[in-house]
Every structure is written in structure tokens, then in C-alpha cells.
Amino acid sequence: GNSVTQMEGPVTLSEEAFLTINCTYTATGYPSLFWYVQYPGEGLQLLLKATKADDKGSNKGFEATYRKETTSFHLEKGSVQVSDSAVYFCALINTGFQKLVFGTGTRLLVSP
Amino acid sequence: DSGVTQTPKHLITATGQRVTLRCSPRSGDLSVYWYQQSLDQGLQFLIQYYNGEERAKGNILERFSAQQFPDLHSELNLSSLELGDSALYFCASSRDRSSYEQYFGPGTRLTVT
């Protein structure tokens, strides 16, 4: 079946530190991959996506590259801000299916 | 703001009761999805509607049902509520049945006491 595995949180960083949140997936076929972010008390926002191997999704300084050989889609940001504190979800949609399959989420805490 | 609206924001009810959650998709979106977010199960897909018809079903209990109306808004009905149904229920919408970008509403927090 399809599944997504994310690193356990919380991830605690100081402002301006480098961020990596690991995500690996299991899927048949060629899924599209996503990162969603959930700020406290809010719904999920689409952060970035990649639809095929070697694609790089980017938005608001965040990046992730679709690596088929390692079945990974790690989220990175060069310099985090306090306002980036949130829960980050890695997700996939497999070809022919419309449901998003989510990882368990990783909480990021950034201190000044 | 994603453009997806959900009401109510919070709902507190007792076991055995029935509730209805409402969702209005983004303007122009034809597909509506329902997801449940709970501490033990994480984020799980429940059901999808496209232009009024059921398109895909996930881990939705028989006590739960949904529909999408001609104006494209959707309702999720939860009946015979149990304590374990307490969760955040999200609605998402997308442009068509094949679109991979889903936009989420703010959610309805259901508490069953």
C-alpha cells in the first residue's frame, strides 16, 4: 500500500538555523508528493509539491526534491524564522487515486 | 485564506447524538474531500465527492455519511457519536476530479462528551 514516514518531532531550532525534516514514502507507481503546513489553530496549507522524479518544489524559502532512487522528499530551509513554528506534513497522492496519504507530522519549534 | 469555508468551528455534543458539518469549496472547485485528524489515527481520508457524486471512499465508518449538493457545498453527517469520534474534521477542495492540489478549510473541532 501507500504510506509516508516522517521523522519524529519536535524539532527545536534557533532562529536562522538550517532546517531538514526527513520524509520517505512507499508507493506503487509514480506518486505526486507534497508538503503541507499547519499553524496553531489553523487548517492545512499547501507549502510545496513535486509531481515527478527530480522535480524540486519550492515556496517561501522551503525546498524539497523528489528523489525516486531513495523514495524521499526531505524538506529544507536555509534559515528558519520564529514564524515558521508549525506542524509540517509530508503527503502523497498516487496515480489514479485522489486521496492524500499523510505522514504523522513533524512539529517545528523555532526560538528567537 | 484558502477560500474553503467550514462551519461550525467548534461543536460539543454528547454520545449517541448526530451532528452535521458543512463545507463550502473554493469558487470553481468541483471536488470536495473530507479528512479526519485525531491524535491516535493522524490525518485520514474519509470520502470524496465530485460534482455531486461520490468518487472515492476511505476509512469512513458506516455511522458517517456525506453528500454534495447542486451548489457544490458538502455536508458530513456523523451519527450515534462515540467518544472516539472526537477529532478535527477537515474539508478540502480541488478544481476537478484529477487535480492533485487540494486546498483545506480551517476545520471543525468535534468534541463528544
Whole-angstrom distance, CA of residue A86 vs CA of residue A100? 20
The amino acid sitting at A13 is: L
The amino acid sitting at B35 is: Y
Whole-angstrom distance, CA of residue A94 vs CA of residue A33? 9
**B interface mutation test: which of A30, A59, A100 has the most B CBs within 10 A?**
A100
Average pLDDT over residues B37-43: 88
* A:B CB pairs within 8 Å: 53
Contacts of B58 in chain A (CB under 8 A): 99
State the first-to-last Cα distance of chain A, in angstroms, to the nearest integer.
41
Of the candidates B3, B25, B2, B22, the one whose C-alpha atom is nearest the C-alpha of residue B11 is: B22
Whole-angstrom distance, CA of residue A105 vs CA of residue A93? 16
Banded pLDDT at A40 (limits 50, 70, 90):
confident
A54 CA to centre of own chain: 15
Tell me whether residues A100 and B103 touch, CB distance under 8 A.
no
Indicate whether B89 pLDDT > 80.
yes
Banded pLDDT at B96 (limits 50, 70, 90):
confident
| Residues on B contacting A at a C-beta cutoff of 8 Å | 2, 4, 31, 33, 35, 42-45, 48, 55-56, 58, 90, 92, 94, 97-98, 100-107
Indicate whether B20 pLDDT > 90.
yes
Indicate whether B17 pLDDT > 90.
yes
